Every structure is written in structure tokens, then in C-alpha cells.
Amino acid sequence: MKYDVIIVGAGPSGIFTALELVRQKSNKKVLMVEQGRSIDKRYCPKEKTKKCVSCKPYCHITTGFSGAGAFSDGKLSLSYEVGGDLPSLIGTDKAQELIEYTDKIYLEFGADTKVEGLENTEAVKAIRIKAIEAGLKLVDCPIRHLGTEKAQEIYLKIQKYLLDSGIEIKFDTVVEDLIIEDRIAKGIKISDSQTKTKKEDLYADKVIVATGRKGADWLKDMCIKHEINHSAGTVDIGVRVEIRNEVMEKVNNVLYESKLIGYPAPFKNKVRTFCQNPGGFVSQENYDNNLAIVNGHSYKERKSDNTNLAILSSHNFSEPFNQPIEYGKKVAELVNMLGNGRILVQRYGDILDGKRTWQKELDQTNIKHTLPDAVAGDLTSAIPYRPMINILNFIKAMNIVVPGFASVETLLYGPEIKFYSNKINLNDKFDTNIKGLHCLGDSSGWTRGLMMASIMGVLMGKMLES
């Protein structure tokens, strides 16, 4: 079977590549290949079981049409300053222009017209003053909140639109290898993701890899096997913090999501907040090799009494070790080991007291934790010293901005690891050193989050048709 374009992965960057080709009225024959199911068939049993059942062969939270994006908090960051390094590749003005263009597409498919963080300028100033006092930088970023359930509705409409427009999508299909001959991408080798049978070779003039964070490890293997130029990037190691809404009320009302960056002593590594969910729920994602990773969701209608957000410590490696994804996996494996395969949770005060947390202590606090099958334990026995100290000192700084943030009962869940460390060497046309092969989205190492991955896809679609 021969196509003009094969897109590996149906996350935001792959989706918006296909969508832009349709909008450009392209006559190209396009195939999308997705390991998971169509979005209308994605379902997490935990809604009923209240505990993770480790779905096989993949987790429905991270895999399927729209990727992890459909089951996340569904926030679109509307500033080029947030979401990765893509602006350094294509230019900041172009990145902002593409954000505005892509945002209108989301609106066409039903995104909420309200944008958070545009009002209360005096209140924002007050928060910024507190951030400066704490040695933190507050990044201005308007947010369009889709909501976990609404994001699924929007992507379902997009999925139907693509199918109705002639885009072919193979679900439950795993790409086992790239077909590269004489440094030219020719196609892909696929099989059924459930049975690993029905093996087939598919060919195309252009192969676009857009496998998301879930596929970053696979892409790294492809880079090594086929000598695709890449470099070790950054690994983010962190925790997800959960506190009551009352503590975060002022920041939630003014900004919805406070994006704060600091370089706490003694190590001066970059530490940042990420993915803040007012009234949200802590969640679990499962990656390959049974890795349980913590995340957070925020719905439009369904609300909790808590706010959760990630605190991530960034680390780079060069010599003699340069495998940040493997490092992050080892940290996650160790935390999972202590939690017997489940997410670990510990009170901030217990960490300061040098003790583990027990379930009875969780039950006594003001915070009713929103991940019911999390295991009380000791994160400090698994997370390395350097990132742990960075996180604890960042929490102290956050307490200046948000009094009560560093309370005894503040909950820390782990591990939260971001697997977008491998960075593919690309030019501004997203070309690799393999002719006809392009890499997009979080798996490429250039984006982080829905909007930046989406605009990378939009630009790829425009370039394919130009």
C-alpha cells in the first residue's frame, strides 16, 4: 500500500497535520497510524473499580486518538513563552501567530470561548510582587480551559471530521519499525497492537513521527537503530502537589493556572510549576514496562475540594551518561517499587520530620485525597537527593506567594516524570537527517503540551501542501 503521507501517532501534532491538509484542500493520500483506539472507544475502568487494573496492552489514559491530551486537564496555553522550545526553531512571532490560528480551530470545534488570566491586572501585580519576593518568576500566559470531558468531545468531533474528509486512520496498530533505505524514509512496518500479528509494510513519500511522550522511548530506539541525529535533552523529575482550594483560591480566581519558575539553592536547577488543576483530581497514567506515573485532571462540570499541580525539577546529563529517559524511568521504577506498583503519597510535614506517612494520618487531615488507590509511604526513599531538595525548597518559596502552600498536610504524590527528553535535530521545516522523515510534538523534544504540539502539526500540514 502506497500513501503520500503516513503520520505515526494520533496525538495533537499528528491530528493537526492531517487537519491542516484537509483545510488546505489537499489531494494527498494520508494515513494515520495509532496504537490505541478511536476516542469514542477509549475508557478507563478506574471510573468504576476505583483502582488501576493495569489495562493491557496499553493504558487508555495515554494511548488512543488525541493521545494523553484527551484525558488530561485539557488546557491550551495561549502564549509562545509556554510549551517548549519550538519558538526558538521557527521564531517567536511565527509561533504566536500559529497559536492564534490554531486556537480559532479549537473554537470552531466547540472550545470554551472564555480565556483565563486576562483580567484582574492589579491582582496579578500583587501575585507577581510576592513571586519576586520569593525569588520566583511569574510567567504571563492566558489559558483556554477545555476540561477533561469537553476535550474528549472536541477531539471526537475532529476525529469524525478527519474520517469524513477522507483521512484514513488505522487504530489498534503498532509501528514496529521505520523503513529507511539509503538514508531515505520509505515507510513503516506495522502489526496489530493487540496480538502483534497481521504484520504489514506500508510505504509513503513522507513519514511523520508524532508519537507523543508515550512514544518518546520508541523514537529514541529508532534514532539509534537508523542513525537519526538527536541529542540528550532535559528530564523533569517531580511530584504532584494537592492542597485544598481555599489555600489556592486567590491564585485560582486570578490566574487559573500560575506558571512559576525558580532556581532554588543550593543547586540552582530550574524548578517550575506545571499543569495546575483548580477543583481537579489527581490521576494515574501507565506507561510501558508497567510504570505508574502521576498526573492531574480538571473537568468543566465535576469538581473536587482540592487543587493539584506538578512541581518539576529539570536535569541535564552529558558525559559519561547521556540517557535522561532511562534515568527518569529508573526513578519512577524505584518509587513504584515502594508503592507496590501504585502511586505513592506523602505529607509535606512528614518529609520535614524525616518519617513516612501512614494511611491513618492521611485520613486525619483536612485534605481528602482524590487518588483513592494511592499508597501512603516515603517518597524520599526513592526520589534522588538533588531533585528532592529542589522540590522542597521550591515549596518553601511557593509558601510566600501562596500562604499555606507549605502546610504540614500538603500532599505530595510521586512519581511525576516527563518523558520528552530525547531531542531530534530538526531544521525549521522539521526535516531530520533522513530524507522524507519528519518528527513532531512532544516525542520530538521540541514541544510540551497541547497547544505547542498542535501548532507544530499545523505548520507541518502547511509545509506539506506548499
Q: pLDDT band at residue 42, thresholds of 50, 70 and 90?
A: confident
- pLDDT tens for 134-187 read 999 999 889 998 887 889 999 999 999 999 999 999 999 999 999 999 999 999
- pLDDT tens for 203-255 read 999 999 999 988 888 999 999 999 999 998 788 999 999 999 999 999 999 98
Question: In this structure, is the dihedral angle defined by the CA atoms of residues 445, 70, 90 and 227, taken in order, positive or negative?
Answer: positive
- pLDDT tens for 411-446 read 999 999 987 668 999 999 999 999 999 999 999 999
Residue of 449, 441, 80 whose CA lies nearest to 295: 449
Residues 367, 412: one domain?
Answer: yes
pLDDT score recorded for residue 420: 67
49 versus 91: the higher-pLDDT residue is 91
Nine cell digits for residue 301? 462540570
Residues 154, 130: one domain?
Answer: no
Residue 385 has pLDDT above 80, yes or no: yes
- pLDDT tens for 310-325 read 999 999 887 888 888 8
Distance of CA 223 to the CA centre of its chain: 21
C-beta separation of 66 from 42 below 8 A: no
pLDDT score recorded for residue 204: 98
Residue 343 has pLDDT above 90, yes or no: yes
pLDDT score recorded for residue 46: 73
Assigned domain for 275 exists: yes
pLDDT score recorded for residue 401: 97
| DSSP H or E run through 77 | strand 75-77
Residue 336 has pLDDT above 90, yes or no: yes
* Number of domains the chain contains: 2
Average pLDDT estimate for 80-88: 93
Residues 268, 128: one domain?
Answer: yes
Residue 9 has pLDDT above 70, yes or no: yes
C-beta separation of 28 from 167 below 8 A: no
Residues 30, 169: one domain?
Answer: yes
Residues 181, 96: one domain?
Answer: yes
C-beta separation of 448 from 418 below 8 A: yes
Nine cell digits for residue 330? 529508573
Residues 387, 303: one domain?
Answer: yes
> 52-56, 144-148, 442-446, 450-454: lowest mean pLDDT where?
52-56
pLDDT score recorded for residue 85: 93
Assigned domain for 97 exists: yes
- pLDDT tens for 191-204 read 998 887 789 999 99
Residues 74, 168: one domain?
Answer: yes
What is the extent of the structural domain holding 249?
A: 121-141+234-418
Nine cell digits for residue 262? 525558580
C-beta separation of 242 from 448 below 8 A: no
C-beta separation of 134 from 397 below 8 A: yes
Average pLDDT estimate for 31-40: 94
Q: What's the pTM value of the predicted model, to 2 decimals?
A: 0.88
Report d(CA 306, CA 245) in Å as an integer: 5
Residues 51, 198: one domain?
Answer: yes
Reported as half-sphere exposure (CB side, CA atoms, 13 A), residue 258 has a value of 29
Instruction: Quote the percentage of the chain above a pLDDT of 70.
Output: 99
Assigned domain for 398 exists: yes
Residues 107, 208: one domain?
Answer: yes
Assigned domain for 264 exists: yes
The CA–CA distances, whole Å, from 303 to 219, 239, 250, 278, 296 equal 37, 21, 17, 8, 13
pLDDT score recorded for residue 421: 63
CATH of the domain at 10: 3.50.50.60
Assigned domain for 40 exists: yes
Residues 414, 266: one domain?
Answer: yes
Residues 45, 99: one domain?
Answer: yes
Residues 285, 335: one domain?
Answer: yes
Assigned domain for 116 exists: no
Average pLDDT estimate for 1-21: 96
288 versus 313: the higher-pLDDT residue is 313
pLDDT score recorded for residue 157: 97
**What's the whole-number average pLDDT of the chain?**
93
